[in-house]
Amino acid sequence: MKTPTIKVAHTTTNSVIYKNFHISLDNIKRKLSKGATLKYFPCTIGSADNSFFSLNELDSKGRSKTWYLDPSPELLKLDHSVASV
């Protein structure tokens, strides 16, 4: 069975932006075990669902990297916080 992947809307690191690729759920779990934080941003405007997750991590040099992920049932099962509106 293939490892599930999550679509990354975009990520920023040191002014470099990467868009529209997938990251494996196992890789996200690995980042969380190393101290990354996962936050859910519920946002519904009218009938549009603009919800997303952010995954914040620090690299080995102390620089911050943020991954913006499309919501999925797999991510909701992981340990995360919910942003207040």
Q: Are 80 and 39 in contact (CB under 8 A)?
A: yes
Does residue 51 carry a pLDDT above 60?
yes
Say how many C-beta atoms besides its own lie within 10 A of residue 59's C-beta. Answer: 10
Quick: pLDDT tens for 55-79. Answer: 999 888 888 888 889 888 899 899 9
Domains contained in the chain, CATH given: 5-82 (3.10.50)
Predicted pLDDT of residue 9: 81
31: left (phi over 0), alpha (psi -120 to 50) or beta: alpha
pLDDT tens for each residue of 14-43? 666 666 788 899 999 999 999 999 999 988
Residue 4 pLDDT:
83
